[in-house]
Amino acid sequence: MKFHDGSDFTARDFVYTACRIPTVPNSPSSFTIYTSAMKKIETPDPHTLIIHTEKPYPLLPVELAVWGIISATANGVTGDITFNPDGTGCGITSFPQTKEFNSGQATIGTGMFKYGEYVKGDRYVMNRNDAYWGEGTEWDTVTFKPITNSAARVAALLAGDVDFISKPPTQDLERLESEPDITLSSMGSNRVIYLHMDQYGPSTPGVKGTGAPDGTYEGEGPCATSACEKNPLLDRRVRQALSKAINRDAIVDKVMGGYAVAAGELLPQGFFGTNEGAKPEAYDPEGAKKLLVEAGYPNGFELVLGTPNDRYINDAKIAQAIAQMFTRVGIKTSVNAMTKSVFFATRNKYEFSLYLAGWGSGTGEMSSPMRALVGTRDKSRGLGGTNRGRYSNPVIDDMIMEALSTVDDDKRATLLAESSRMAMEDYAILPLHFEVTIWAHRSDLSYGARADQYTMAIASTRRSRLYPISDLCRWTLVHRQNLL
């Protein structure tokens, strides 16, 4: 197997990539949750890896399939590399940055397509790799065009300017279905849309009408430098009231046009580690009002809901619907919607008391969302990498860690299901729904829809299989279908 520049693919490239992952600057959702189990790596020869873990770790092969390998040689690194779990001791002074990937300098893989051209905001071109080690593709060139406006994306397909689009807006589906030259493909995904709530300190930004906090704020975020009001989200009754105020079925039917499934956990039923029969919270606005009274907020309070407006299907519309539902039970809610780049940067500074986001399980089982979204933020344990609500429950943390080192599948599934049940009963995070992903394309093409929502330009044939790319950041992923 060769990289696109002709260099050999070896165990050293694996170590190089593992060293880089913890050092990626400003990563909104670090891949360290998939590398933290590795404590030592030996490479006795170019094609052998011996990976040491602190404890038995049955998920290791699955997690290694989530991230792609980049070339050490292509990035100027020669000689042996000694692995260090945090990346700082690998003896590498610098890793490639975004500009090197955009220019093609670092965009060197081993796949059937290789980098052709990237023009920001206009196109990304990949050419067939004739030296590919496996079965090739019939496409000489595949061009991806980012069309962020949904109407323009549909218009481009109808006009024949593009052959394939992902996530057409739900309001256009009926029209697309009526077109004889257009076919729709869909798949229920493992991406949950959820609400995260600030559960860290006595005060929180974005809340008004709760009065002075019961204590001094210590930690990151705007409340560390300026006065914020009392944090009502520390009270489980308030979190439960928020959940009861949400009409998930109405969101699925009215906002998502039926292309979603109301969620009672962070993974759909049937995935590994879920609780059989887990149901979404029932819509109960009167119950929500009663809980607010019990919590000491008979007149409610004001709240700001943060959300991206270009990351998830109908994300800003969902946030607007939820804001109206909260307002009806006495929590006057406004929406702060922004582009995804601004949103994630703002979220990572802890500037939201409540925000909407999504998570897709890269491994297809419950430990992925539980570790990332619910586990207490702890880099050394690989927990809480995307837990910007900073919920913390040591019992759940220990249960997750025990599951990760449990080789027996049944026992591990039970531990994960129990940790999920505890988190849901504590309203640690509020699952809303699972997205149903839709693709629209020319009728002479077909697409093997994926539960992980990836759209990949691999193993493509006309009227057989088509896998173009919409998410350029993740095109190297190899999905473990056995987990689905």
Segment among 13-27, 197-211, 366-380, 469-483 with least mean pLDDT: 469-483
Examine the domain organization and report whether 241 and 351 are in the same domain: yes
pLDDT band, residue 475 (cuts 50/70/90)? very low
Examine the domain organization and report whether 286 and 215 are in the same domain: yes
pLDDT band, residue 480 (cuts 50/70/90)? very low
Segment among 84-93, 176-185, 201-210, 361-370 with least mean pLDDT: 84-93
| Dihedral in degrees, nearest 10, Cα atoms 170, 172, 174, 176 | -120
Sheet holding 141-144, edge to edge: 113-119, 123-128, 141-144
Q: Provide the 10 A C-beta neighbour count for residue 230.
A: 21
Query: Residue 34 has what pLDDT?
Result: 86
Of 79, 103, 127, which residue sits at a domain end? 103
Domain containing residue 94: CATH number? 3.90.76
Residue 23 has pLDDT above 70, yes or no: yes
pLDDT tens digits, 261-298: 999 999 999 999 999 999 999 999 999 999 999 999 99
Q: What are residue 53's DSSP bridge partners?
A: 38
pLDDT band, residue 159 (cuts 50/70/90)? very high
Residue 302 has pLDDT above 70, yes or no: yes
Examine the domain organization and report whether 359 and 307 are in the same domain: yes
Query: Residue 458 has what pLDDT?
Result: 67
Examine the domain organization and report whether 146 and 241 are in the same domain: no
Residue 274 inside a domain? The answer is yes
Residue 2 inside a domain? The answer is no
Residue 128 has pLDDT above 90, yes or no: yes
Which of 365, 338, 343 is closest to 452 using CA atoms?
A: 365
Examine the domain organization and report whether 218 and 323 are in the same domain: yes
User: Mean pLDDT across the stretch 221-234?
Assistant: 94
Examine the domain organization and report whether 36 and 71 are in the same domain: yes
- Cβ atoms of residues 204 and 223 within 8 Å: yes
Residue 4 inside a domain? The answer is no
Question: Residue 366's domain spans which residues?
Answer: 190-434
Query: Residue 322 has what pLDDT?
Result: 98
Residue 360 inside a domain? The answer is yes
User: Mean pLDDT across the stretch 192-197?
Assistant: 98
- Cβ atoms of residues 52 and 41 within 8 Å: yes
Domain containing residue 453: CATH number? 3.40.190.10
Query: Residue 477 has what pLDDT?
Result: 29
Residue 446 inside a domain? The answer is yes
Q: Which residue has the higher pLDDT, 471 or 131?
A: 131
What does pTM read for this prediction?
0.82
Examine the domain organization and report whether 315 and 247 are in the same domain: yes
Residue 342 inside a domain? The answer is yes
How far, CA to CA in Å, does 164 sit from each of 120, 124, 439, 470? 20, 15, 7, 10
Tokens of 350: 């802890």
Amino acid identity of residue 156, one-letter, is A
* Rounded CA separation 41/51 (Å): 5
pLDDT band, residue 430 (cuts 50/70/90)? very high
Q: What are residue 312's DSSP bridge partners?
A: none
pLDDT tens digits, 314-337: 999 999 999 999 999 999 999 999
Query: Residue 462 has what pLDDT?
Result: 56
Residue 108 inside a domain? The answer is no
How many domains, in total, are found in the chain? Answer: 3
Give the orientation angle of helix 315-328 with respect to helix 236-245, to 10 degrees.
Answer: 110
Examine the domain organization and report whether 340 and 405 are in the same domain: yes
In whole numbers, what is the pLDDT of the chain averaged over residues?
89
Q: Which residue has the higher pLDDT, 116 or 482?
A: 116
Examine the domain organization and report whether 331 and 411 are in the same domain: yes
Examine the domain organization and report whether 248 and 357 are in the same domain: yes
Domain containing residue 315: CATH number? 3.10.105.10
Of 103, 134, 155, which residue sits at a domain end? 103
User: With helix as H, strand as E and coil as C, how does 93-130 read?
Assistant: CCCCCHHHHHHCCCCCCCCCEEEEEEECCCEEEEEECC
Q: φ, ψ for residue 448 (rounded to 5)?
A: -85, 90
Examine the domain organization and report whether 258 and 399 are in the same domain: yes
Residue 476 has pLDDT above 80, yes or no: no
* Rounded CA separation 368/480 (Å): 14
User: Mean pLDDT across the stretch 194-210?
Assistant: 96
Residue 158 inside a domain? The answer is yes
Q: Which ranges of 309-348 does DSSP label H, i.e. alpha helix?
A: 315-328, 340-347
Examine the domain organization and report whether 393 and 470 are in the same domain: no
Of 103, 122, 143, which residue sits at a domain end? 103
